[in-house]
């Protein structure tokens, strides 16, 4: 019987921490199944020219595609991914953490398997809460609770670099605020931005952060997360992609989900990586068998520990897991697909520059209407 070959394309940001173990498991699969060849091509998106549409270079010989979130919707819309529903069927919810199914579903079909997933939330300084005489935040806390703490923290700021809170004025960080305040950037099916990105709810949420920075002076203006400043004790609460807090710092720092509108439901903004079967695969069933082995069994890839991310299988949790990872698993129950799953090229600063007009005094609703038009134009032509 002639040995077969398989080809995998792995798209990542920078030096992806999971690539080495990914290759090891794939090579082991090839050896044990006597495949003639296992070709793995790595594409570092950060090295590409911003005008290069690398997604058009997928080719017609690929079996699996490992992708970052910003590619999922694009690959689905352009027919690059095969429908996995016949293979995984009803076993998805038995295998994977609750809340992830929506993130890998397109038009009601399972189009990928989630691997490592992070989530946005708030990391807070426990000492600031102790000094202000406020209980630590608890699940279900509201934006009123958040503001009460921020205002109480104001008296603790003795130096110019100290702030009660930090919310970076970027679209990804702001999206977590927008979702938790009842707005959206894009429709649930990813096909419309008008009426969502420029909705009264979205504008009100972003305008609220603007006032927090420009009028209340409770947060510094920054287009990046000020992790170092937080770790130096200069910030009371920080909205960020959650990261593992070292064991020796757990007495000083804690994590909590995004606040909710009083009486509202929690909303968590996830950052999932995923792998799908290429629609160009000559043998989709064989490709899925590799995908299943790679993502749904205990191996070096699924067992890897990555800062601020958890592996998506329910049974992947370890008793000694970092408390932040345990929290992420619970928070993913409230996952809502972010815009980067719906709109290609979401990151890179193009749209963040539009936000500066709000800080310069342009009404949030007006600025967001212009931004929605820009996003719709770029999105439709892709």
pTM across the whole model: 0.89
Q: Residues 52-80: what's their mean pLDDT?
A: 76
CA dihedral 365, 366, 369, 373 (to 10 degrees): -160
pLDDT value, residue 343: 67
- CB neighbour list of residue 268: distance below 8 Å, 6 or more residues apart: 99, 119, 120, 121, 257, 258, 331, 332, 333, 334, 335, 336
Report the first-to-last Cα separation within the chain, whole angstroms.
43
Residue that is written with structure tokens 């937080």 in the block: 230
With beta carbons less than 8 A apart as the criterion, state whether 120 and 271 touch: yes
Q: Residues 365-379: what's their mean pLDDT?
A: 82
CA dihedral 344, 348, 349, 352 (to 10 degrees): 40
Chain centroid to CA 363: 28
pLDDT value, residue 319: 66
Per the model's pLDDT, the better-predicted residue between 65 and 47 turns out to be: 65
Beta strands in the chain (DSSP E): 5-12, 37-44, 64-67, 105-106, 109-110, 113-125, 163-166, 235-241, 253-256, 270-277, 310-311
Give the pair of three-digit tokens for residue 253: 């720092």
- Write the DSSP string, 222-241: -SS--HHHHHTT-EEEEEEE
- Write the DSSP string, 46-76: GGS-TT--GGGG--S--SEEEE-HHHHHHHH
CA separation for the pair 148, 128 (Å, rounded): 13
Per the model's pLDDT, the better-predicted residue between 176 and 51 turns out to be: 176
- Could you tell me the pLDDT band of residue 248, with boundaries at 50, 70 and 90? confident
Q: Residues 268-285: what's their mean pLDDT?
A: 92
Residue 50 has pLDDT above 60, yes or no: no
pLDDT value, residue 350: 57
- Could you tell me the pLDDT band of residue 166, with boundaries at 50, 70 and 90? very high
- CB neighbour list of residue 5: distance below 8 Å, 6 or more residues apart: 35, 36, 37, 38, 39
Give the pair of three-digit tokens for residue 153: 């923290």
pLDDT over 90 for what percent of the chain? 50
pLDDT value, residue 344: 57
pLDDT value, residue 379: 63
- Classify residue 325 by burial, with Cβ atoms within 10 Å: 0-12, 13-18, 19+: buried
Angle made by CA atoms 18, 318, 244, in degrees to the nearest 5: 60
Q: Residues 198-213: what's their mean pLDDT?
A: 93
pLDDT value, residue 190: 75
At 134 the three-state DSSP class reads: coil
pLDDT, tens only, 296-327 = 999 999 998 888 999 999 988 776 778 899 99
- Could you tell me the pLDDT band of residue 382, with boundaries at 50, 70 and 90? very low
With beta carbons less than 8 A apart as the criterion, state whether 337 and 103 touch: yes
pLDDT value, residue 1: 37
Per the model's pLDDT, the better-predicted residue between 6 and 64 turns out to be: 64
CA separation for the pair 115, 105 (Å, rounded): 14
User: Which of 40-44, 225-229, 375-379 shows the lowest mean pLDDT across its residues?
Assistant: 375-379
pLDDT, tens only, 104-163 = 999 899 999 999 999 999 999 999 999 999 999 999 899 999 999 999 999 999 999 999
- Could you tell me the pLDDT band of residue 329, with boundaries at 50, 70 and 90? very high
CA separation for the pair 149, 77 (Å, rounded): 44
């Amino acid at each position: 019987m002639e040995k077969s070959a398989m080809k995998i394309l792995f798209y990542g940001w920078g030096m992806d921490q999971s690539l080495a173990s990914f290759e090891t498991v794939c090579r082991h699969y090839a050896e044990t199944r006597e495949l003639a060849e296992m070709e793995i091509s790595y594409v570092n998106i950060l090295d590409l020219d911003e005008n290069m549409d690398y997604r058009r270079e997928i080719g017609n010989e690929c079996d699996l595609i490992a992708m970052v979130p910003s590619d999922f919707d694009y690959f689905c819309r352009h027919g690059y991914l095969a429908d996995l529903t016949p293979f995984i069927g009803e076993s998805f919810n038995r295998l994977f953490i609750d809340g992830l199914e929506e993130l890998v579903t397109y038009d009601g079909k399972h189009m990928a398997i989630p691997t490592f997933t992070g989530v946005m939330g708030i990391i807070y300084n426990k000492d600031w809460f102790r000094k202000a005489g406020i209980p630590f935040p608890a699940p279900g806390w509201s934006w009123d609770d958040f503001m009460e703490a921020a205002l109480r923290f104001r008296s603790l700021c003795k130096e110019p670099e100290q702030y009660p809170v930090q919310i970076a004025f970027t679209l990804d960080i702001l999206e977590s605020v927008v979702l938790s305040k009842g707005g959206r950037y894009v429709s649930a099916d990813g096909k419309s931005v008008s009426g969502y990105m420029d909705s009264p709810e979205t504008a009100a949420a972003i305008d609220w952060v603007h006032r927090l920075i420009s009028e209340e002076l409770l947060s510094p203006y920054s287009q990046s997360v000020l992790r170092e400043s937080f770790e130096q004790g200069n910030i009371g609460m920080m909205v960020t992609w959650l990261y593992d807090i070292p064991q020796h710092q757990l007495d000083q720092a804690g994590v909590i989900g995004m606040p909710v509108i009083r009486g509202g439901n929690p909303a968590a903004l996830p950052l999932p990586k995923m792998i799908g079967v290429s629609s160009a695969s000559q043998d989709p069933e064989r490709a899925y068998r590799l995908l299943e082995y790679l993502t749904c069994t205990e191996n070096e890839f699924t067992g890897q520990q990555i800062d601020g991310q958890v592996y998506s299988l329910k049974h992947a949790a370890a008793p000694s897991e970092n408390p932040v990872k345990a929290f992420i698993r619970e928070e993913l129950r409230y996952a809502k697909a972010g815009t980067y799953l719906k709109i290609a090229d979401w990151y890179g600063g193009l749209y963040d520059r539009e936000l500066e007009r709000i800080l310069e005094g342009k009404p949030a609703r007006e600025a967001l209407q212009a931004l929605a038009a820009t996003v719709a134009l770029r999105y439709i032509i892709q």
